[in-house]
Amino acid sequence: MKNYFGTKVKIVSKSKEKGKIVIEYMSNEELIELIKEYPARKAEYMEELYNQNRGIIYKIAKRFEGQAESEDLMQEAYIILDKTVTAYDTSLDFK
């Protein structure tokens, strides 16, 4: 099985404003660390985390399509992802 939390993606800031952080090739763990370090930018980093894991989220949500609509399942997945990020302890070394 592929380790989805180790997947690297390219994320580039859309703005070149002063003070913007440009991120390239961040793992999920690195994004979670940024979410915890810069809470004011949580929405931006959560969007990137969600987008880079959208494939696996969709795959899991598809199993429950008969019980709810796909859009509702994807929203529920985002809520669960947010709760997981909040509970994630970056000091533990899980690989």
pTM for the structure as a whole: 0.66
Q: Do residues 50 and 81 make contact, with C-beta atoms less than 8 angstroms apart?
A: yes
Who contacts 5 (Cβ-Cβ below 8 Å, separation ≥6)?
Answer: 27, 28, 29
| pLDDT tens digits, one per residue of 5-59 | 444 444 444 555 555 655 566 888 888 988 998 999 999 899 989 988 988 888 8
What is residue 22's predicted lDDT score, i.e. its pLDDT?
A: 56
Place 1 in a pLDDT band, splitting at 50, 70 and 90. Answer: very low
- The answer to whether residue 65 scores a pLDDT higher than 50 is yes
